[in-house]
Amino acid sequence: MAAFRPPQFKKSKILAENRRARYEYAFEDFYEAGIALTGTEVKSLRFGQGSIAESYAEVKNGQVTLINANIPEFSHGNRFNHEPKRPRKLLLHEREIRKMVTAVSREGMTVIPVSLYFNNKGKAKLELAIARGKKTHDKRATIKERDWKRDQARLLRDKG
């Protein structure tokens, strides 16, 4: 079985990745979403702070919201600072939101943030994936395949 390669968005600076999601979920579709951020959140992200490890996206009332993403307070933010784990609105096209709603409601899938990055224009973007949770045997197969690839690379390096 060939490994699924996600479409590559133009990422100039990756801020945070949800590496655990690749192990826990099987990805179906990928979307690039903008994030509605305040000024101190953008400054905090530019310093390389932020985490999406335990976050998820919620589709409700025709809007997609990023829940539980941690962007720490900006050190020089004074009274205009933001709340670190506040819900953040994601900016998507109506067609993309409709696809997410049908996938989540009908097919039992979930929307997972994969990576947070700045694009070439300097805008903060979030790569979302519609994913299905893996079963235990699928996770074992993933581990087995990863170990075989590592052994294969080691063998080729030593012989070649």
Tens digit of each residue's pLDDT (9 = 90 or more) over 62-85: 899 999 988 888 877 777 788 888
Task: Pinpoint the alpha helices (H) of 26-129.
Answer: 39-46, 94-106
Question: Which domains are assigned to the chain?
Answer: 11-134 (2.40.280.10)
Kindly give the parts of the chain with pLDDT less than 70: 1-7, 160
Tens-place pLDDT, residues 83-108: 888 899 999 999 999 999 988 888 87
- Predicted pLDDT of residue 6: 58
SS3 of residue 67 by DSSP: strand
Position of tokens 């905090």? 44
For residue 53, give the nearest of 27, 20, 7, 76 by alpha carbon. Answer: 20
Kindly state the percentage of the chain with pLDDT values over 90.
Answer: 32
Q: How far is CA 110 from CA 19, 87, 129, in A?
A: 16, 17, 8
Strand partners, 113: 128
- Predicted pLDDT of residue 3: 59
